[in-house]
Amino acid sequence: MALRPDTRFQLRTDSMSAGMARDAAIDVGLRQYMLRVYNYMASGLALTGVVAYLVASTPAVLQLLYQPTGTGGYAPTMLAWIAMFSPLAFILVMNFGLHKMKASTLQMVFWAFAAVMGVSMSSIFLTFTGASIARVFFISASMFLAMSIYGYTTKRDLSGMGSFLMMGLVGIIVASIVNIFLASSGLHFVISVVGVLVFVGLTAFDTQKIKSMYMVSDSGEIATKKAVMGATTLYLDFINLFMMLLHLFGNRE
């Protein structure tokens, strides 16, 4: 039996309404998901900052990590080196244990990771002035926010730049390891400049990637895991961007 024109119009209208409602539900869910990602990231950064400041302000703890040198600087102890490399262990645990851990366990590992990062970053308060640390932090936050908004809103597919940025990241890591032995100020400057460019790009790329991982059908457990891992990625982008800018523009004590 043929449908009357008004019936066909009603069906099309109902279909459009259902599609708009579905899109609206996805849009609201996506905003809530991304808000969770940013909340986890901001909380992790706050914890890192508090721990770093407390360690640097507590002489008894500081002496366990750094020994003063004859030139007025500080040399890291074995415990400090352990603290510096410990975050890598947490990242490996989070990545390889993602599917086995509960969301609540993953959250606890993330908080522990942020706290250990604070211990490893406490030396910046010994090296740079508090005013320059605050200034560079706000510069980093502004750059990060701008690039993250771009990555979230742009219609351009940024996946093509991912491999290029990863090659740049590998190059930075290799050059940084080499410079531990060379102690070249020129190479350190180049690493910092390239690092800023790489992590600015990664901020936009990772934001778009995290956004694309959202699925309206995700259960609460899966959604939480995705939010925590997304927050970890953006947290690392921000921390590295901040450290690169601090080495470029921070005023030393």
Residue-level pLDDT, tens digit, the chain, 253 residues: 454 555 554 545 555 544 444 555 557 888 999 999 999 999 999 999 999 999 999 988 888 888 877 666 778 889 888 888 898 899 999 988 888 899 999 999 999 999 999 999 998 998 899 999 999 999 999 999 999 999 999 999 998 888 889 899 999 989 988 888 888 888 989 999 999 999 999 999 999 999 999 988 787 889 999 999 999 999 999 999 999 999 999 888 6
- 66 forms beta bridges with 76
DSSP code of 66? E
**Residue 181, pLDDT score:** 85
> What gap in Å lies between CA 105 and CA 126, rounded to an integer?
34
**Residue 108, pLDDT score:** 95
- Amino acid at residue number 70: G
**Residue 42, pLDDT score:** 96
Q: CA 187 → CA 151, 168, 174, 252, distances in Å?
A: 30, 15, 12, 18
> What gap in Å lies between CA 236 and CA 113, rounded to an integer?
11
**Residue 151, pLDDT score:** 95
Q: For residue 234, how many other CB atoms are within 10 A of its CB? A: 24
Residue 143 is encoded by which pair of tokens? Answer: 């750059």
**Residue 203, pLDDT score:** 96
**Residue 85, pLDDT score:** 87
> Which residues, other chains included, contact 56 with Cβ-Cβ below 8 Å and sequence gap of 6+?
62, 122, 123, 124, 125, 126
DSSP code of 67? E
**Residue 26, pLDDT score:** 59
- Amino acid at residue number 71: T
**Residue 18, pLDDT score:** 47
**Residue 21, pLDDT score:** 46
**Residue 251, pLDDT score:** 82
Per the CB < 8 A criterion, the answer to whether 140 and 76 are in contact is no
CA torsion, points 233, 84, 115, 204, in degrees to nearest 10? -20
